[in-house]
Amino acid sequence: MSLNVSSYQDIYNSKKSLADIIWKTRFNFPKEFNGWRPGMIHTFLSHTGGGKSTLAKTIILDAHDENPDNGNILIWLTEEYKNIWEGHFFKGLEPEKYPRLKIFSERDFFLDGINKKSDMLRYIIGKIRSENINLIIIDNITTSIFYGDLDEQREFAQIIATQFPRNIPKIVFAHTNSSYKPYGREMMDEMHIHGSKELPKISEVFYCLTIFNNKEDRFAFLRCTKNRFHETKTNFFFLDYCKEEKKYRMDAPRDFEGFKSAFKSRNTL
166-220 per-position pLDDT tens digit: 889 999 999 999 988 877 778 889 999 999 999 999 999 999 998 876 666 677 8
**What is the spatial distance between Cα 182 and Cα 203, in angstroms, rounded to a whole number?**
23
Region 210-233: mean pLDDT is 80
Number of domains in the chain: 1
Domain membership flag for residue 252: yes
Domain membership flag for residue 1: no
Which of these, 17, 14, 37, 41, lies nearest to 205 by C-alpha position? 41
Evaluate if residue 253 carries a pLDDT over 50.
Answer: yes
What average pLDDT is seen over the chain? 86
Region 141-152: mean pLDDT is 94
Report the percentage of the chain scoring pLDDT > 90: 58
Q: Count Cβ atoms within 10 A of the Cβ of residue 214 and give its class: 0-12 exposed, 13-18 middle, 19 or more buried.
A: exposed
Domain membership flag for residue 46: yes
The CATH number for 208's domain is 3.40.50.300
Domain membership flag for residue 174: yes
55-98 per-position pLDDT tens digit: 999 999 999 999 999 999 999 999 999 999 999 999 999 999 99
**Residue 267: predicted pLDDT:** 60
**Residue 65: predicted pLDDT:** 96
Sign of CA dihedral 218, 42, 47, 125: positive
Region 136-148: mean pLDDT is 94
Q: What is the DSSP string of 130-182?
A: HTTEEEEEEE-GGGSTT--SHHHHHHHHHHHHHSS-TTS-EEEEEEB-TT--T
Question: What is residue 221's three-state secondary structure?
Answer: strand
Domain membership flag for residue 2: no
Check residue 187 and report its DSSP letter.
P
**Residue 3: predicted pLDDT:** 44
Domain membership flag for residue 108: yes
Report the percentage of the chain scoring pLDDT > 70: 87
Q: Which residues pair with 206 in a beta bridge?
A: 43, 226
Q: What domain range includes position 75?
A: 8-17+24-178+185-265
Q: Which residues pair with 223 in a beta bridge?
A: 208, 236
> Contact at 8 Å (CB) between 89 and 75?
no
Domain membership flag for residue 114: yes
pTM equals: 0.87
> Contact at 8 Å (CB) between 155 and 143?
no
CA angle, residues 149, 150, 152, in degrees to nearest 5: 65
**Sequence-distant (≥ 6) Cβ neighbours of residue 112 within 8 angstroms:** none
Domain membership flag for residue 227: yes
